[in-house]
Amino acid sequence: MNTMIYDTTLRDGSQTEGISFSLEDKLRIARKLDYLGISYIEGGWPGSNPKDLEFFRQIQQVPLENARIAAFGSTRKPGIRVDQDSNVQALLEAGTPVVTIVGKSWDFHVLRALETTLEENLAMISDTIAYLKSKGLEVIFDAEHFYDGFKNNREYALQVLTAAAEADWIILCDTNGGAMPWEVGEITAVAAQTVKNPLGIHAHNDSGCAVSNSLAAVRAGCRQVQGTINGYGERCGNADLCSIIPNLELKMDLTALPPGNLKNLAEVSHYISEVANMPHHNNQPFVGHGAFAHKGGIHVSALLKDSLTYEHINPEAVGNKRRVLVSELSGLSNLLYKAKELNLDVNTYDAETRKVIRRIKELENQGFQFEGADASLELLLRKAFGQYDDYFQLNNLKLIMEKSEGQEITAEAMIKLTIGDRTFHTAADGDGPVDALDNSIRKALTEVYPEISSMHLSDYKVRVLDGNKGTSAKVRVLIDSVDDARQWSTVGVSENIIEASYQAIVDSINYMLMKKQIPE
């Protein structure tokens, strides 16, 4: 059985605190949602701003394979003819094949927010739907606050659904996000008995139940699910389609995407978080970087025998991958799994392997954290098992900091490195000591390793490990680096922030050079 997925990332999702999509952002996201196989993409509210109107104009030139574009608006205003309502006319100007209109289904809102009569509200709904249908459009009606309305005035909430009988879809909305899953199931079942229209669910996450409520509504008869990628939305967000879609397909045996497209879910999730300039939550179900990450030794030992022991699905089904973390909590199984993943020649529980695990635990006790720095971990393992040589050696490093009254601090790094039988001595300045250090290393290495010009630092984090020691405390530096093919993380720890930074930068460069030589 098919379940239609209706994405409102471009409207509801854009109401997230900290998100502001440009026109180009919206077009890029729409193309990616179509690539995933979303049935409906809600592009925005054309009556609210020029940017949304321009989006609807430009998206008409974009060939879409799977999605239909929907424009969002409201019913006519009280006391105004529908053909004279500016917001309704803006919906027609959007030129979309689908329009979604929202109307009140809670009598409290009709009387207090709209300040009109219950009868006029019903007329506003039926008039607007009939008018838009007469224009040949597919009409989706969002019954705003339906579950709250039903609980406060059951008869009137159901009258609203009856007034929307001409709509192609009626969507039951938990707008305040306060309904519980059992309430949603019971109320949805009553709605399904009241009208013959296909039903949908639009849930907000203010009680943390948006995904559960959406699935409960599907079980009770809804055939459309509205939500956003990564659960973006106002306040606590909307129902997260990145959890809803795989649950529908893998747990409820329903079809939500075209065959074979589910494996693109993690890619789309991460892509949209990048466009939105929002952090991607590591522990997000199904698509998070840590969704299938295993740290405990007992877990990993069982995973080596059968992945089903500690994974509810195959990570590859949603485009994710299994990760085994090596840390102070690790056992030998973690190390063996990691070594196998890296194609290292380590396959026995011998004394050398135990020695490496002890060394990792010692380093983590000193403040290193390898679960967040896979590149440094891989270098450590390759060195420990004699399958790696550094690409350069440090002979000498000097840093000069200078500040004059009224002037900014300047930094210069002078470095001497050895590569094979050649020595390179150079200097470089920078915006600060770490930047100068990075620039000087790159300058010294570029002649022999020109490929490092394609990499750069994308993030730099410092954490004080023992605040009680003040400025003499150890710090941990985590660096994220990227090139044209991958992203990786490295770590350094020292009482001296420059030393910790140097460790992480050197690991980052060595890792990049190693990956250029090792075939994937």
Closest CA to 440 of 83, 432, 363: 432
CA angle in degrees (0–180, nearest 5) for 238-242-247: 105
Q: E strand or H helix at 224, and its extent?
A: strand 224-227
Q: What is the pLDDT of residue 328?
A: 47
Mean pLDDT of the chain: 88
Residues 131-148, mean pLDDT to the nearest whole number? 98
Whether residue 329 has pLDDT greater than 60: no
| pLDDT (tens digit per residue) in 452-491 | 888 888 888 888 876 555 556 788 888 888 887 788 888 8
- Burial status of residue 455 (CB atoms within 10 A of its CB: 0-12, 13-18, 19 or more): buried
Cα 232 from Cα 242, distance rounded (Å):
11
Q: What backbone phi and psi angles, to 5 degrees, belong to 430?
A: -165, 175
- The model's pTM is 0.72
3-state secondary structure at position 239: coil
Beta strands in 420-509 (DSSP E): 422-430, 456-464, 475-482, 487-494
Q: Which domains does the chain have, with CATH numbers?
A: 4-275 (3.20.20.70), 293-361 (no CATH), 367-391+453-520 (3.30.160.340), 392-448 (3.30.160.740)
The 10s digit of each residue's pLDDT in 94-128 is 999 999 999 999 999 999 999 999 999 999 999 99
Closest CA to 222 of 187, 246, 175: 187
